[in-house]
Amino acid sequence: MENIKNDVLKEIENINDTKTLYDLRVKYLGKKGIISELLANLGKLSIEEKKKQGPIINSLKQEVTKIFDEKNKEIELNILNEKLKNEKIDISLPSTKIANGAPNILEKLIEEVEELLMSMGYDVVDGPEIEEDKFNFEMLNIPKGHPARDAQDTFYIEGEEILLRSQTSPVQVRTMLANKGEKPIRMICPGKTYRRDDDDATHSHQFNQIEGLLVDKDISLSDLKGTIDVIVKKLFGQDISTRFRPSYYQFTEPSVEVDISCFNCKGKGCNICKNTGWITVAGAGIVHPNVLKMGGYDPSIWSGFAFGFGAERLAMLKYGINDLRVFYNTDLRELNTFDRKDVE
């Protein structure tokens, strides 16, 4: 008995993994193990012998079990300590640098215009990007077959009636109809528009416009000019001035092209303003009586102005970007090339 115990102690001494320990445990204590065999053989002995041997073998079994249990604990503790040592975190190491995110500058610009106009009592409204011909053209005074349609090479979806809106102006009509010719309107609608353009640095088949519409009583071109002036000064600086050039849109009369004085050269002439000292940023005008009428507003009572900015164009000017595709790019290396501090 003493030998068995010594054998166990000797064999167990250099074990330092649980698998080998388990195998050794089976050798002694398993069903067919050395000690189990001894116990099984008790049956063959006389009662006297059994009484003598039984307690001895049992106490051997207990002792050996204890030896194994303790060794097991010791190994597990060693493994744990080893693991703790290896996985130790050095809290004094500098952390991994995580790049700061920043809002997309196009979104940022749109938000800036929204906030400004909301402070002037405008509602920000939405309209569908899949639009009816009726709203995108007809009710804006552009009937079928009108040559002005050619200028907006439109994506038609179903026949001639359903299309991807080529401008945000249909939202003017929708807003007028929703207000039933009864209430004054102040709304802006920033949103995506689509045209069959080949994509290059200054064209995209998808771009954003910021539409504005005001309908009230006794509205004149000077109200429009004042409003545009406030927007432009907010975006480009207080020293920027605005000028209107006569233009033609079917849904406004008179129509104007909005130019701002060049923020870069202050009018001296540079490559941004193509040496003219002025940059065109929007189309605008006094809402055409036909459009008011089709929108349910009596033009003998109501008048209004409307404007449409190209959002990408504004952002390109404001942030000095010369390739429109940058806005739709997710490459941070490129997005970080313009000064994003300004937009955080």
Build a one-symbol-per-residue string for 61-100: x at contacts with ligand DAH by CB under 6 A, - elsewhere.
Answer: ----------------------------------------
DSSP-derived secondary structure letter, 267: T
Give the nearer residue to ligand DAH in terms of CB position, either 33 or 299: 299
Which residue has its beta carbon closest to ligand DAH?
308
Q: For the CB of residue 140, give the shortest distance to ligand DAH in the complex, in Å.
A: 8
The residues in 192-211 that bind ligand DAH, with binding defined as CB under 6 A, are 211
Q: For the CB of residue 253, give the shortest distance to ligand DAH in the complex, in Å.
A: 10
Reading the block at residue 267, the tokens are 């009018």
Cα distance between residue 104 and residue 327, in whole Å:
7
Regarding 306 and contact with ligand DAH (CB under 6 A), the answer is: yes
Give the nearer residue to ligand DAH in terms of CB position, either 57 or 306: 306
Sequence-separated (6 or more) residues with CB below 8 Å from residue 20:
none
Scanning the chain, the segments in alpha helix (DSSP H) are 2-13, 18-29, 34-41, 47-86, 105-119, 133-136, 170-178, 221-236, 289-294, 311-319, 332-335
Regarding 169 and contact with ligand DAH (CB under 6 A), the answer is: yes
Regarding 106 and contact with ligand DAH (CB under 6 A), the answer is: no
Cα distance between residue 151 and residue 174, in whole Å:
23
Using a 10 angstrom Cβ sphere, with 0-12 exposed, 13-18 middle and 19 or more buried, the burial of residue 25 is buried
The residues in 257-296 that bind ligand DAH, with binding defined as CB under 6 A, are 283-285
**Helix %, strand %, coil % for the chain, to 5?**
45, 20, 35
Q: How many CA atoms lie within 13 A of 329 on its CB side?
A: 14
Binding residue (CB under 6 A) for ligand DAH from 249, 297, 319, 327: 249
Regarding 252 and contact with ligand DAH (CB under 6 A), the answer is: yes
Which region among 79-87, 266-274, 302-310, 323-331 touches ligand DAH (by CB under 6 A)? 302-310
Residues that bind ligand DAH (CB under 6 A): 167, 169, 211, 249, 252, 283-285, 306-308
